[in-house]
Chains A and B, each alone.
Chain A
Amino acid sequence: MLVPLTLVAITVLILIDSWPALTTYGISYFATTEWDPVKLVFGAAAYVYGTLVTTIIAVVLATPVAVGAAIYLTEFAPRAVRAPVAFTIELLAYIPSIVYGLWAIFVMVPVMRSVIEPGLQSTLGQLPLVGKLFSGTPIGLDLLSGGIVLAIMILPILMAVSREVLLAVPPTQREAMIGLGATRWEAVSRAVLPYARPGIIGGAVLGVARAFGETMAVTMVVGNSSRDISGSLFVPGYTMASAIANQFVEADSELYFSAIVEIALVLLFVAILVNSVARVLIRRSIADRPAGAVV
């Protein structure tokens, strides 16, 4: 009872504080990218874009690695290494995000700028269509770096959830498949994974939630510029959470303050939206389970 009440209270509070900006800028707040505290013109589209792009990069990169690691640990790894390796990966979740940020800025960004980004540019960057993603001068402080830091940060939670879900798959699923003459891998890909799919998607949703709200580490490497939505991953970007963290303290006029609170409102709604979509996905995925599965 208390939890939904808290959510309602937070929403109401944010609504009240963002009301001046809501009424002043209306729909243009979501449709334009100009964010000018001097002239009091506020459009948050670039922040929404930055948050979505970094989150997508994070989930696309982290999910295969996390699921792969979970499959290896539950199905293939020698028994002696399972617990220590799982424990080590889960430890990553306990590292404070500012530490990830420092590591990213001192270790990852120079490598991104001098090795990975020029490398991507000379290979994938030459392809039609996809090439556009890798255009521009590689500076290391950009959407791609922000996405990669996020990927590393959501990896442990994704891996931990996937592993638990795979462990929970009844042994009869595997035994039945192997009994039919399937190989180890066939048993995993045809009997275990389909059974575990809803849980894995649920883990990815938790990862998305973490990526959405993550502030410090992303702020340090994402470049913090809301200038344009160019389609390239090599341009400095800005996320909603970073914008709030960077500008909240110095927001000295009522309208400016209100415009920043409205970012929080948008963040809340986008989060609710993503969560709802994910729920639908999970429900469908459960319905799609192999008909003969032993539940």
Chain B
Amino acid sequence: MKKPLIASILAFATLLAACGGSPPGGTSTPGSAASAAADPCGVPVRAKCPTEAQNVTGAGATFPGPLYTKWIDQYNLLTGVQINYQAIGSGGGIKNFTEKTVDFGASDVPLTDAQFDTIAGGLYMVPMALGSVVPTYNVPNVTAPIKFTPDALAGIYLEQIKKWNDPKITAENPGVTLPDLAITTVHRSDGSGTTGVFTDYLSKISPDWKSKVGSGTTVNWPGGVGGSGNAGVAGAVKNQPGTIGYVELIYAIQNKLGYGVVKNAAGKYVEASLDSTTKAADAFVSPDFGSLKGQQTKLSITNSATADAWPISTFTFLLLPKDFSDKSKGLAILRFAWYGTHEGQAFAKDLGYAPLPSAVQKAAEDVLRSITSGGGKVLKVNS
């Protein structure tokens, strides 16, 4: 009984604040005059909406942090709404979302069945952008990108391939002289969505990996050294000849790290790039966006069958309830998510994220429109 009462008082207070707040006009765009007839609370987002909450909080994945921050700034300019996003990690985001200490969550990894069960009222996981993970290494005197078969990559991390001149690596790299040097694997020591994606990929391509290690944000590594964050992994790799690690693609690009090429499910060696990352989602068919138990793993797009796809790619998701208890907050969050999946996509590439393919963007629209509050639709699309 306590919570709804407090929530409604808060909602009422924010409504009052919104009504009696600063005079409109300061942030209005020239376009808003033309669409004056349209509902200001509909989407596409063009203007301030008097009925949306002025303050919402979210928490989750660190990976999309910079992109969300950009969207939040832009959305604030358009609408005056303050969105507070805490980049605390995917696991923390899922936890806070489950405990309802935040209004929305964010994660790079789909939920497990056990996590799914603890969430009351159901949820959707809506893709916002894509990212990918690349293997980076330190092999002296090798300048050409090293090619890895999925088997070789799994073998290295399983500590079965121990030297750089192992036939499983050299066979795919004719013309490259690989030294007789011991391989040291480097992994993330902190729990991370990056590890989640990487181990999800290894579990798909290696039955051995799946049974021995499995996938998760922290796993029981067969060996090697742990570094904290992308920087910790990259630092360990840079300092130590013979090492191999995995980092986010944008981190590798921004820090000018060399990275390897991996053979994808179509049997093609594809270079990791934002375009080949977007391609990984091309053939993606919505498994009802995480709202059905047992279907969560279908949200994973690693080892994509598309010919030019980078195989170690992932969506980054917003976690939204199927039904918002607070309509004004729901409206603000859904409008923000709509903004992110539409206008917001334009910022993705500059910040190092791969934009959503149009089919996924369309599917995300349908999900956002279907979300309710107290059984009634929240989002109105202005034509």
The residues of A with any CB-CB pair to B shorter than 8 Å are 34-39, 41, 105-106, 109-110, 113, 137, 139-141, 219-220, 223-225, 227, 236, 238, 242, 245-247, 249-253
For the complex, what is the distance from the CA of A251 to the CA of B95, rounded to whole Å?
9
Chain A residue nearest to B107 in the complex (CB): A252
For the complex, what is the distance from the CA of A225 to the CA of B189, rounded to whole Å?
8
Which residues of chain B (178-206) have a CB below 8 Å from chain A?
182, 184, 189-192
Whether B217 lies near A250 (C-beta < 8 A) is yes
Whether B95 lies near A252 (C-beta < 8 A) is yes
For the complex, what is the distance from the CA of A247 to the CA of B192, rounded to whole Å?
9
Please tell me if B221 contacts chain A, counting CB pairs below 8 Å: yes
Whether B239 lies near A140 (C-beta < 8 A) is yes
For the complex, what is the distance from the CA of A209 to the CA of B239, rounded to whole Å?
32
Whether A220 lies near B232 (C-beta < 8 A) is yes
Whether B225 lies near A251 (C-beta < 8 A) is no
Among A38, A109, A220, A223, the most chain B Cβ lie within 10 Å of the Cβ of A38
Chain B residue nearest to A251 in the complex (CB): B91
Please tell me if B94 contacts chain A, counting CB pairs below 8 Å: yes
Which residues of chain B (69-107) have a CB below 8 Å from chain A?
88-92, 94-95
For the complex, what is the distance from the CA of A207 to the CA of B15, rounded to whole Å?
56
For the complex, what is the distance from the CA of A106 to the CA of B236, rounded to whole Å?
10
Q: How far is the CB of A259 from chain B (nearest CB, A)?
A: 11
Chain B residue nearest to A36 in the complex (CB): B220
Whether B184 lies near A137 (C-beta < 8 A) is yes
Which residues of chain B (213-229) have a CB below 8 Å from chain A?
213-228
Interface size on B, residues (CB 8 A): 37
Whether B219 lies near A36 (C-beta < 8 A) is yes
The residues of B with any CB-CB pair to A shorter than 8 Å are 88-92, 94-95, 112, 114-115, 182, 184, 189-192, 213-228, 232, 235-236, 239-240
Whether A137 lies near B115 (C-beta < 8 A) is no
Query: Which residues does chain A contribute within 8 Å of B239, judged by CB atoms?
Result: 109-110, 113, 140
Whether A250 lies near B92 (C-beta < 8 A) is yes
Q: How far is the CB of B40 from chain A (nearest CB, A)?
A: 39
Q: How far is the CB of A5 from chain B (nearest CB, A)?
A: 28
Q: How far is the CB of B340 from chain A (nearest CB, A)?
A: 24
Query: Which residues does chain B contribute within 8 Å of A37, judged by CB atoms?
Result: 216-220
Given contacts A109-B239, A247-B218, contact A225 B223 (CB under 8 A): yes
Query: Which residues does chain B contribute within 8 Å of A110, judged by CB atoms?
Result: 239
Query: Which residues does chain B contribute within 8 Å of A36, judged by CB atoms?
Result: 219-220
Whether B89 lies near A224 (C-beta < 8 A) is no
Can you pick out 20 interface pairs between chain A and chain B where the beta carbons lie within 8 Å of each other? A36-B219, A38-B220, A39-B214, A105-B235, A139-B184, A139-B225, A141-B225, A223-B225, A223-B226, A224-B225, A225-B221, A225-B224, A227-B222, A236-B225, A246-B228, A247-B218, A249-B190, A250-B90, A250-B190, A250-B217
Given contacts A37-B216, A250-B191, contact A220 B228 (CB under 8 A): yes
For the complex, what is the distance from the CA of A222 to the CA of B192, rounded to whole Å?
19
Partner of B227, one of A224, A250, A253: A224
Given contacts A113-B239, A224-B225, A252-B91, contact A38 B216 (CB under 8 A): yes
> 9 extra interchain contacts, Cβ-Cβ under 8 A, other than A37-B220, A113-B239?
A36-B219, A38-B216, A105-B235, A139-B184, A141-B236, A249-B91, A250-B191, A251-B191, A252-B91
Chain A residue nearest to B214 in the complex (CB): A38
Given contacts A137-B182, A225-B223, contact A249 B114 (CB under 8 A): no
What 10 pairs between A and B have smallest CB-CB spacing?
A: A250-B191, A224-B226, A250-B91, A224-B189, A36-B220, A38-B214, A252-B91, A250-B217, A249-B89, A38-B216
Given contacts A37-B218, A139-B184, contact A219 B189 (CB under 8 A): yes
For the complex, what is the distance from the CA of A37 to the CA of B189, rounded to whole Å?
13
For the complex, what is the distance from the CA of A245 to the CA of B89, rounded to whole Å?
13
For the complex, what is the distance from the CA of A36 to the CA of B214, rounded to whole Å?
10
For the complex, what is the distance from the CA of A132 to the CA of B240, rounded to whole Å?
23
Query: Which residues does chain B contribute within 8 Å of A253, judged by CB atoms?
Result: 112, 114-115
Whether A38 lies near B89 (C-beta < 8 A) is no
Given contacts A247-B191, A252-B91, contact A113 B114 (CB under 8 A): no
Q: How far is the CB of B283 from chain A (nearest CB, A)?
A: 28
Chain B residue nearest to A219 in the complex (CB): B228
Query: Which residues does chain B contribute within 8 Å of A220, judged by CB atoms?
Result: 228, 232
Among B90, B213, B224, the most chain A Cβ lie within 10 Å of the Cβ of B224
Q: How far is the CB of B199 from chain A (nearest CB, A)?
A: 8
Whether A250 lies near B89 (C-beta < 8 A) is yes
Chain A residue nearest to B232 in the complex (CB): A220
Given contacts A38-B214, A39-B214, A113-B240, contact A252 B228 (CB under 8 A): no
For the complex, what is the distance from the CA of A105 to the CA of B227, rounded to whole Å?
11
For the complex, what is the distance from the CA of A238 to the CA of B228, rounded to whole Å?
12
Whether A224 lies near B218 (C-beta < 8 A) is no
Chain A residue nearest to B217 in the complex (CB): A250
Whether A249 lies near B115 (C-beta < 8 A) is no
Whether A38 lies near B215 (C-beta < 8 A) is yes
Query: Which residues does chain B contribute within 8 Å of A223, judged by CB atoms?
Result: 225-226
Q: How far is the CB of A208 from chain B (nearest CB, A)?
A: 24
Whether A225 lies near B190 (C-beta < 8 A) is no
For the complex, what is the distance from the CA of A278 to the CA of B108, rounded to whole Å?
47
Chain A residue nearest to B90 in the complex (CB): A250
Q: How far is the CB of A18 from chain B (nearest CB, A)?
A: 17
For the complex, what is the distance from the CA of A238 to the CA of B218, rounded to whole Å?
14
For the complex, what is the distance from the CA of A240 to the CA of B341, rounded to whole Å?
42
Q: How far is the CB of A197 from chain B (nearest CB, A)?
A: 40
